[in-house]
Amino acid sequence: MVTLSAAGAADPVADPVTDHAADPGPEPWPAVAGQPRTWEWPRHGPKPPRGDRQFREFEAAVPPAIGERPVRPGPEARAALAAATEAVAVLDRSATVDLTALAGALLRSESVASSRIEHLRASQREVGLAMLRGGDPRSAAAHVAANVRAMTLAVARAADGGDTTVDDVLDVHRTLLADDPEQSGWAGHLRTVQNWVGGSFHSPRGALFVPPQPGLVAPLMNDLVRFCNRVDVDPVAQAAVAHAQFETIHPFTDGNGRTGRALVHVLLRRRGLVRTTVVPVSTVLLADVDAYFAGLADYRAGRLDVWLARFAAATSHAASAGLRLALDLAEVRGAWWDAARPRRGSVGAVLLEALLRQPVVDIDTLRVLAEEGGADGAVADKNLYRAVDRLVGADVLAEVSGGSRNRVWAAVDVLDLLERFETDLGRRRAPL
């Protein structure tokens, strides 16, 4: 019988990063324990290889409860966290471009990067088309589009305020996998089976990591959201710990990485560190997958400061990259206005601004964007088509559907910019 226990309640502090007048020093972080388990291979379905049939014993993780555990990093980790906080603040107050547009662009890039670690590769154009038309639910583009929707939901829920709940996490997961032909039955449900990372397809034989047994998942998730709702922990450290703990629990049969990375944005938004934009932390962390997994291993071994410093460095790098993207988007916006010269308040002007955050559109999307943007006069389809024709003539939009019906247009400048942004972050690894 395995029981979960937590350390004493954390001391409330005015500023978890800078207020160290009564700081007792770094707090040890417990390593993930192990629990011996017996494996019995299922007698239904295809017969597994001999090695899996003979496999009998493995060790499942038993993460410590963290709901009330003190988080007191050492001086180097504290300095990295303070630098990350300042970098995020600079990004969030940037006035170079409509930050709603920047948030939309960064959410797309985050979703693409988060999906690539799952070997789901799709271009920004393919993702945009999948979000409009759906298409083959097995395609990489459809999976990434679902990730965009899930991450958007996660950020929106956090912006609404209030405590994070397990149901919130389940809703994000449901959005992610609801249309997945193989996983839709598990969408929005905690796992009731044993899972593992790496190794054999048929059993935990040779696994890189074996998460907790199913019976521990619900109490661990309840403990995790208690941690997420605290306000006495530095926000960047809270996001780092919550993400690593989530990946250690691995509460779902699939989609753990994508849901866990969405949780990072929930924490940063909920704590008010990010109010208007998104920090592309996943895009940076996943530029070096081996280093990312090594960081999770450090967390599980109790080397909390190492993980916090790595995560904080990625956050700082991501915020700086986001600021560069904001400047680039502002240049695109300026070039569009010079080329199209729309009248202020016109349908064309409203659409031009909206395309920065929604670069792939059809007539239905354009109708919504025009109405949300408060364009002057009635937003009739003939006015929309007239505005689109002018934007196409100014090279702001290009038709990508190749037909006279169900036409789709793309702001190619924005799509190309996002592709370069992701590629550059992949090459220019953060000093983690």
Task: State pLDDT tens for residues 12-27.
Answer: 333 444 444 455 666 7
Task: State pLDDT tens for residues 359-369.
Answer: 999 998 998 88
Go through the domains of the chain in sequence order and give each one's CATH number.
Answer: 33-56+73-322 (1.10.3290.10), 342-419 (1.10.10.10)
Mean pLDDT, all residues of the chain? 86
Task: State pLDDT tens for residues 314-343.
Answer: 999 999 988 888 889 889 999 999 999 998
Token output for 359: 């670069």
Question: Once rounded to an integer, what is the mean pLDDT over residues 142-164?
Answer: 87
- Indicate the pLDDT class of residue 116, thresholds 50, 70 and 90: low
Q: Which residue has the higher pLDDT, 8 or 164?
A: 164
Query: What is the pLDDT at residue 19?
Result: 47
Task: State pLDDT tens for residues 221-235.
Answer: 999 999 999 999 999
Query: What is the pLDDT at residue 251?
Result: 98
Query: What is the pLDDT at residue 100?
Result: 63
- Indicate the pLDDT class of residue 396, thresholds 50, 70 and 90: very high
Query: What is the pLDDT at residue 236?
Result: 98
- Indicate the pLDDT class of residue 426, thresholds 50, 70 and 90: low
